[in-house]
Amino acid sequence: MRLLVIGGSDAGISAGLRPQHSRCRYQHMGVAASPVYVRVRPLRVSFVFVGDPDRKGASMTAQATTTPTRTLQIEFLFLDLDTCTRCRATDATLLEAIGRTRPALDAAGVAVNLTKTLVASEAQAQALGFVSSPTIRINGVDIAGELVESACDSCSETCACNGGVDCRDWLWRGERSHEPPLGLIVEAIMGHAGGSGPASPPASPPSSDTVPANLRQYFAATAAASGCCGNGVAGAACGCQA
């Protein structure tokens, strides 16, 4: 007995859709039996831009192939994705970690909602409780734990701050690096998915003194370079918050 697999329709593929069924036909002694249909679950990932797309803030929902019973809220907050090597590396590693953990999350009925936010002003940083770039939070909890930073050349050049901007370093298993290790993010995702992570974010809103001086300097310099006054009275191009 031979198993002959015949692919889905060209129309579905050309429309950007994956066929949900593959038609299988058994041939025995040259005589075709009734077709057998096998269900194939499609992988669906949707991207939705929120706010101003030019500011590179986006939300991505990775839908589970089984009915999800829980959702992990993952936030990625950053200063710059154009030139900052640390932010760019964190973005790529985070997406890889979500992809690596997806099969296990699907099996556990856990969906992932990823929100990416460009923090463009001191007011926005204060509202978000943003104290270091880049930041990854799962269900409101910073996965980095201890805050460790070092001078960031690329961000300092962006704002012409003469080495005055510090960005996050990552600590994992006794090693310190400018880029988050893949294992650190995977462990954080699976820990929260399994219920071992903190249950909820801090209840109290951030206070005004949570924005570090080096970030205030960065926001003021980038606002001045784009023609803003730096205190929220400006056009949309500079990213100031009214």
Q: What is the dihedral of CA 129, 131, 135, 137, to 10 degrees?
A: -30
pLDDT range class, residue 75, cuts 50, 70, 90: very high
In angstroms, the CA 41 to CA 67 distance is 12
Q: Are 32 and 144 part of one and the same domain?
A: no
Residue pLDDT, tens place only, 38-57: 343 433 333 333 444 445 66
Could you tell me the residue range of the domain that residue 12 belongs to?
2-39
Do the domain assignments include residue 231?
no
Q: Is the pLDDT confidence value at 78 over 70?
A: yes
CA-to-CA distance for 220 and 216, rounded, in angstroms?
6
91 and 194 together in one domain? yes
201 and 132 together in one domain:
yes
| Whole-number percent of the chain with pLDDT over 70 | 60
pLDDT tens-digit profile of 117-165?
Answer: 999 999 999 999 999 999 999 999 999 988 999 999 888 888 877 667 8
- pLDDT in the model for residue 163: 62
Q: How many domains does the chain have?
A: 2
- The answer to whether 218 and 239 are in contact (CB under 8 A) is no
Residue 115 is predicted with a pLDDT of 97
Assess whether 134 and 178 both reside in one domain.
Answer: yes
Residues 209, 167 within the same domain: yes
**Does residue 68 share a domain with residue 8?**
no
Q: Tell whether 84 is covered by a domain.
A: yes
26 located within any domain: yes
Q: Considering only CA atoms, which of 72, 152, 80, 153 is closest in space to residue 115?
A: 72
What is the token pair recorded at 215? 């970030």
Same domain, 55 and 12: no
Going by the DSSP 8-state scheme, the letter that residue 211 receives in this structure is: S
For 33-36, the CB contacts below 8 A with 24+ separation are: none
Same domain? For 35 and 72 the reply is: no
Looking at the structure, do residues 114 and 35 belong to the same domain, yes or no? no
Give residue-wise pLDDT tens across range 160-216.
776 678 999 999 999 999 999 999 999 999 999 987 665 444 434 444 467 999 899
Average pLDDT, integer, range 50-76: 68
Task: Clarify whether residues 24 and 142 are in a common domain.
Answer: no
CA distance 44 to 62: 7
Residue 62 confidence class, pLDDT cut points 50, 70, 90: low
Q: Are 49 and 111 contained in the same domain?
A: yes
CA distance 153 to 164: 9
